[in-house]
């Protein structure tokens, strides 16, 4: 069918054309069907969406994404006909029915995800089928390989170390200690990290307080080879682009299928050439994993999968019941990390960072088994880690001489005080994150929370429990209102209940 | 956050705003998240989509659907902030986890579907959870009630008869006989029907050859009460609008969860007040149900569900191994139905139509048990059904005097001939549908197929097996090419194989 092109100057992130409902019926397609389109010079294929109002009959709306391929003139003629949908839809359907998929089938699905040949509905079906039926270790391997293959990869031509946390615990700035400790020991650790999506600061957000984090693959390679380490944002590298597209669909469904999570993490690590990896699995209320049993099972899956790729991988199951260290929010965390590198860090941060760094040092034969943590602490105490961090900051375009007091924290500030004497019995991860976000974190770098007391501490009525920082007064008020409502810190006497109560 | 409105003159069928990625991060939302928006006068909520290119930072794209509610000025200021997502998302998530939902939860989901508060991804999750976990009869009842409640309903204030076929068999024009037979017996049968989506002609498409089929609820009521029967398109009535939105998402996933199918059919029948219903379940290769066992199970579910609504329902399990009658395509089928009403119809069509009509006549106490079909045949033979059909045609704005030869069939025509002597051992439903659609059906009413021979017939080499009709030569060629490729009719000798073969 010949139609008149109407170019719609809007990028929709998919190959899509808009047809008048009557023309769509004539061609024999419904919304989400797949059509072939040709202009005078170019051919392509796209999804159909239909409208009754935006177009006249005889017109076809061409969104900018597709226009870039088709180069039709506004008002010019294009031919449209029914096309066979991408073959990968069959494989998704097979998976819905509970069948296992082959390696080729996973490759076909992931290629079509990256080429925008599958709609979000179809990607949702793919992820949900994984959630419902689970995935065999073979399938997770295929998915991992497919995700690596669909993106860019780096080859450092030497052994490469890395660390990943599955997340869920606020204030987890450990990478800012682990990378310089491991690099100072002479191991290569080009750490790619994420920005916060639902948390109050991702490692990339925190590092960005000290230096640039947006680099392409060649820049990362050059930085890491110079300093033996780097801390950059993974989003600009073009590694495992399928992962971002899958996560975009997982988000509104609020699901995180285990197979998909494993493939996502390992595909990113393998794409940057990491062959020695430590995975941080925090457990606790509000973390992704809440019991030791679950954590152990997940750790076993990580190990089993890593063996398929000849990757040396160990998992560290860590305490995730409250924030790591005493700060939450990019600038506050960057300052705390810098203090820790200067030997003035809180115990929980130093313990966790050196324990995980120690695992990597042992893997790299820099320390004997079970002595990695001691070496990590030595490197930290010697100032070598601080020196290395300053080197990395400089190469990544930051100020290598930065001091903790140079880091600007939001000046709008308010304290939350203890309503009574007692002991801190709970610090609520989810509430801390929500309050820090309300204050402006992670976008407003100076926003966040200082926790004055943590679990088990004895406190007196009117002691400051936490200090909220914001860059703007309106945000501060929002955060404070939320804090009063959410009650992020629980104070109780040692005697929790009297039974029976005498009234 | 205050943003500058940019009105996008495009209806997207959902409540959606477009944000620049950086503003979205600032607000703390991702694509598919839910925001509150207010203009000077109005407030509403919408899904977020994000862009890096179409908008400047500080702008918000407002699609026409939402603009109608918000009435912001182009260039004017609107406030945007993070909103809690609709509660029904929690229920969908519960269902993903395999839990049963309550009546209130189904009502909440369906209300949000109809109010466009759920994205297609979330609707897909809802349908897939049904497909994976199945639904209890309680759940199907709740879903049915929710779907009825979300749309318009008709109350005829008297008993009301209806028929529905679950589909899959080409040439199934039986409703054009059943409605006038049942109406002629004095029972009220206001039949709502669908247009073809993937088939070669829906009942509404076929009836449209003879009369108008697009009416609103009041018009349907008036037509049906005058003639005691009607055959109209259900799409314009506003009954069970949720169903159309669910089907829109099922289509690209190629799924048809049983619970959803039952709720879809019964909600539509109950919305038009039908309390005596016969369901046609064809079995055969290419039909929706392929074995008697499956058909029986489905029939039991229909009966069990109908009892919850005090509906009298019977299922007729019918032969669906090849097309009904000898024609496929709107005009050809309308002509064949008219011939059948004149006593000149093919046996398969007359047998099937009178058997199903007979069930309704028995339900309405017009015939003794097991004598309904005899009565239906009598009504047909007496000419009363023809007279009633002419009455319905006239009230629906058609020509009541129409004769079979008045119906215009596509003049472009070509024959497919038998390649050898033998017997017809198979007529392939899917191939027949595909060829008729390639010829232009259902949009080009004159397009379709005449089948000269059916299963079991003895034929000679070069006998015409089928005649393809089209309105345009280009379509005819497409259909013929497809026919040669798909081989819709299988001819074999009585001796099918010799074993061992002597070569």
Written as six digits, the tokens of B257 are 């969860």
For chain B, the residues whose C-beta falls within 8 A of a C-beta of chain A are 8-13, 18, 25-26, 28, 30-33, 49, 51-54, 61, 64, 89, 93, 96, 119-122, 124-125, 128-129, 131-133, 197, 248-249, 251-255, 437, 443
Q: How confident is the model at residue B501 (pLDDT cuts 50, 70, 90)?
A: low
B412-434 tens-digit pLDDT? 999 999 988 888 888 999 999 99
Residues 6+ apart with CB under 8 A from A364: A159, A161, A182, A185, A187, A276
Q: What proportion of chain A, given as a percentage, has pLDDT over 70?
A: 98
Cα Rg, chain B, nearest whole Å: 26
A74 to chain B nearest CA, in Å?
A: 17
With a cut of 60, say whether residue B502 has pLDDT above it: no
State the best of A128, A129, A249, A251 to mutate against chain B, taking most chain B CBs within 10 Å.
A128
Q: Indicate yes or no: CB of B54 within 8 angstroms of CB of A10.
A: yes
A100 to chain B nearest CA, in Å?
A: 15
CA angle (B457 as vertex; B456, B462 as ends), nearest 5 = 135
Q: What is the distance between the alpha carbons of residues A261 and A204, in angstroms, rounded to a whole number?
A: 20
B312 to chain A nearest CA, in Å?
A: 34
Q: What is the distance between the alpha carbons of residues A381 and A342, in angstroms, rounded to a whole number?
A: 8
B288-322 tens-digit pLDDT? 888 899 999 999 999 999 999 999 999 999 999 89
Cα atoms found within 13 Å of the Cα of residue B276, Cβ hemisphere only: 19
* Ordered domains of chain A (ranges, CATH): 2-82 (2.40.40.20), 161-232+274-395 (3.40.1030.10), 412-492 (3.90.1170.30)
Written as six digits, the tokens of B212 are 């108008």
Which pLDDT score is estimated for B386?
A: 98
Tell me which residue of A196, A230, A228 sits closest to A213, measured CA to CA: A230
Written as six digits, the tokens of B289 are 């149900």
Residues 6+ apart with CB under 8 A from B21: B50, B51, B52
Q: Which residues of B375-396 are buried (b: 16+ CB within 10 A; e: fewer)?
A: bbbbbbeeebbbebbbbbbbbb
Written as six digits, the tokens of A487 are 């009650």
A353-407 tens-digit pLDDT? 999 999 999 999 999 999 999 999 999 999 999 999 999 999 999 999 999 999 9
What residues in A contact B470, CB-CB < 8 Å?
A: none
- Determine contact, residues A63/B8, Cβ cutoff 8 Å: no
Lowest mean pLDDT among A45-59, A108-122, B261-275: A45-59
The catalytic residues of B are: 256
3-state secondary structure A214-283: CCCHHHHHHHHHHHCEEEEEHHHCCCCHHHHHHHHHHHHHCCCCHHHHHHHHHHHHHHCCCCEEEEEEEE
B114-154 tens-digit pLDDT? 988 898 899 999 999 998 888 999 999 999 999 999 999 99
Helices (H), A134-240: 137-149, 175-184, 203-207, 217-227
Q: Indicate yes or no: CB of A28 within 8 angstroms of CB of B443.
A: yes
Of B52, B96, B128, which is closest to A125 when you measure between CB atoms?
B128
Which pLDDT score is estimated for A496?
A: 55
Which pLDDT score is estimated for B29?
A: 83
Which pLDDT score is estimated for B503?
A: 46
DSSP conformation letters of B407-443: S---SEEEEEE-SSSEEEEEE-HHHHHHHHHHTTTTT
Q: How confident is the model at residue B81 (pLDDT cuts 50, 70, 90)?
A: confident
A327-337 tens-digit pLDDT? 999 999 999 99
Written as six digits, the tokens of A418 are 């203890």
Which CA distances in Å does B427 have to B44, B323, B329, B422? 55, 8, 16, 14
Which pLDDT score is estimated for A503?
A: 46
Q: What is the distance between the alpha carbons of residues B38 and B45, in angstroms, rounded to a whole number?
A: 8
Tell me which chain B residue has its CA closest to the CA of residue A198: B28
Relative orientation angle of helices A429-438 and A473-486, to the nearest 10 degrees: 160
CA angle (A236 as vertex; A235, A238 as ends), nearest 5 = 90
Which contacts (CB < 8 Å, 24+ apart) does range A343-350 have? A343/A380, A343/A381, A343/A383, A345/A177, A348/A319, A348/A324, A348/A454, A349/A173, A349/A174, A349/A177, A349/A324, A349/A325, A350/A177, A350/A377, A350/A380
Sign of the Cα pseudo-torsion (B251, B257, B259, B265, in order): positive
State whether ipTM is beyond 0.90: no
């Amino acid at each position: 069918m010949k139609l008149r092109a109407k170019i719609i100057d809007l990028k929709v992130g998919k190959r899509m054309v808009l047809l008048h409902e009557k023309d769509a019926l004539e061609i024999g397609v419904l919304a989400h069907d797949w059509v072939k389109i040709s202009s005078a010079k170019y051919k392509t294929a796209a999804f159909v969406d239909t409208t009754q109002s935006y177009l006249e009959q005889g017109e076809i709306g061409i969104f900018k994404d597709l226009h870039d391929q088709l180069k039709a003139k506004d008002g010019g003629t294009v031919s449209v006909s029914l096309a066979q949908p991408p073959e990968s839809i069959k494989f998704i359907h097979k998976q819905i029915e509970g069948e296992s998929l082959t390696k080729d089938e996973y490759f076909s699905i992931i290629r079509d995800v990256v080429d925008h040949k599958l709609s979000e509905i179809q990607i949702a079906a793919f992820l949900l089928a994984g959630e419902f039926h689970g995935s065999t270790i073979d399938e997770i391997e295929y998915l991992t390989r497919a995700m690596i293959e669909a993106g860019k990869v780096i080859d450092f031509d030497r052994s490469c170390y890395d660390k990943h946390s599955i997340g869920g615990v606020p204030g987890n700035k450990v990478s800012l200690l682990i990378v310089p400790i491991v690099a100072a020991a002479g191991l290569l650790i080009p750490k790619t990290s994420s920005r916060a999506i639902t948390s109050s600061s991702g490692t990339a957000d925190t590092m960005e307080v000290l230096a640039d984090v947006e680099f392409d693959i060649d820049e990362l390679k050059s930085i890491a080879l110079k300093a033996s380490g780097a801390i950059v944002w993974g989003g600009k590298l073009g590694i495992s682009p399928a992962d971002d597209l899958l996560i975009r669909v997982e988000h509104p469904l609020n699901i995180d299928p285990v197979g998909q999570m494993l493939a996502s993490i390992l595909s990113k690590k393998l794409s940057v050439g990491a062959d020695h990896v430590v995975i941080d699995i925090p457990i606790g209320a509000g973390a992704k994993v809440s019991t030791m049993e679950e954590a152990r099972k997940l750790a076993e899956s990580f190990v089993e999968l890593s063996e398929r790729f000849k990757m040396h991988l160990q998992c560290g199951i860590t305490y995730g019941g409250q924030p790591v260290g005493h700060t939450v929010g990019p600038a506050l965390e960057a300052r705390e990390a810098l203090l820790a590198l200067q030997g003035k860090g809180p115990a929980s941060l130093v313990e966790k960072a050196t324990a995980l760094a120690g695992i990597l040092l042992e893997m790299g034969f820099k320390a004997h088994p079970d002595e990695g943590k001691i070496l990590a602490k030595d490197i930290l105490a010697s100032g070598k880690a601080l020196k290395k961090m300053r080197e990395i900051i400089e190469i990544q375009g930051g100020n290598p001489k930065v001091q903790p007091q140079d880091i600007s924290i939001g000046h709008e500030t308010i304290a939350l005080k203890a309503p009574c004497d007692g002991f801190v019995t709970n610090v609520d991860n989810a509430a801390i994150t929500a309050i820090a976000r309300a204050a402006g974190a992670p976008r407003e770098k100076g926003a966040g929370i200082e926790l004055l007391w943590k679990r088990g501490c004895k406190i007196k009525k009117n002691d400051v429990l936490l200090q909220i920082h914001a860059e703007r007064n309106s945000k501060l008020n929002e955060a404070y209102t939320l804090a009063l409502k959410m009650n992020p810190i629980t104070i109780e006497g040692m005697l929790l209940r009297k039974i029976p109560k005498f009234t």
